[in-house]
Structure 1
Amino acid sequence: MPLNFSTARKPIMTFALAGLADIVLLLLIFFLLTSSFVPQFGIRVNLPRVEAGAPTQAQYVTVVLTEDGRFYVEQQQVGREDLLNVLRNVKGERTTLVLRADRRATVEQFAYVASTARALGMTVLMATERPDVSPLR
């Protein structure tokens, strides 16, 4: 006896979009949570532009060098002569220093911060601005 698998019901010809909407919403949430956010700092400097940048670590010490030669460590103004002691105090377990230098700052000022950080065994990263990303003004 042959088996008859046919049915009297017609196949469903519509496509339910509810499942697709759920997947798109979950993907949107995933990308929002995993994207990197640019931290906004209180001291504004004009960063130089480069094509690519190195990723920063989760824990770092921030040093800002303004165009008029002032140093800021973790948002606090520091004199040039006190930079080594202040960095030693705020360093803790952190091994990376991110230098946000204004593009009009001198190489001498950058070298001073870099050599001070290297004396403390810290890696120095230079914060730059990508050409395709404009700063919030």
Structure 2
Amino acid sequence: MTFRRRRRIPPQVNITSFIDVVLNLLIFFMLSTSFVTQPGIPVNLPKASSKVKSAAQENTTITITADNTIFINDQKIRDVQELRNILTMLRQEQHSDLIVVKADESVAHGVVVTVMDIAKTSGFSKIAIATR
């Protein structure tokens, strides 16, 4: 009795679906990283040599542009009294006592100090200054 040997087909791994998934992930990450830009008002922040990691939570942000226009969370403020009223209202609604000041490097020091003083008197005890 002679037995025939079966032809063995070597096992193959089909990686086509794996390549499809990897390429889809690559496209997703390429697109999603293009959305991570500094939102809002264009401000030329001053440079600093020390770096501090920012908190992950959402904070109130005051932005001062080169022409001394003041924004709170991308909302334009008309005058100092409106700034004081909005900050007082935000402090009552918000649990965090941190406020971030983003001032253009060409803004006069007095304007930044005035804004920081208003924030302090409105109840924000922690004030951070944003840099590049």
Give the structure-1-normalised TM-score: 0.62
Provide the residue aligned with 2:72 in structure 1: 73
**Equivalences for residues 45-64 of structure 1 within 5 A:** 45-50=43-48, 52=51, 54-64=53-63
Cα distance change, pair 37–106 in 1 and its aligned pair in 2 (3 A): same
Aligned with 1:112: secondary structure? helix
Instruction: State the distance in 2 between where 1:29 and 1:55 align.
Output: 28
Structure 1 contact 65–71 (Cα < 8 Å) conserved: yes
Q: Structure 1, residues 27-56: CA drift from partner, whole Å, max 9, x if none?
A: 437746986823421x33222234645324
Aligned-pair Cα RMSD in Å = 3.4
In structure 1, the gaps of 5 or more residues are 1-5, 130-137
Provide the residue aligned with 1:97 in structure 2: 99
Instruction: State the distance in 2 between where 1:87 and 1:100 align.
Output: 15
Aligned sequence identity (%): 25
Equivalent of residue 128 in structure 1, options 119, 127, 131: 131
Structure 1 contact 101–127 (Cα < 8 Å) conserved: yes
Cα distance change, pair 98–121 in 1 and its aligned pair in 2 (3 A): closer
In structure 2, the gaps of 5 or more residues are none
Structure 1 contact 67–103 (Cα < 8 Å) conserved: yes
Residue 16 (str. 1) matches residue 14 (str. 2): yes
Give the structure-2-normalised TM-score: 0.64
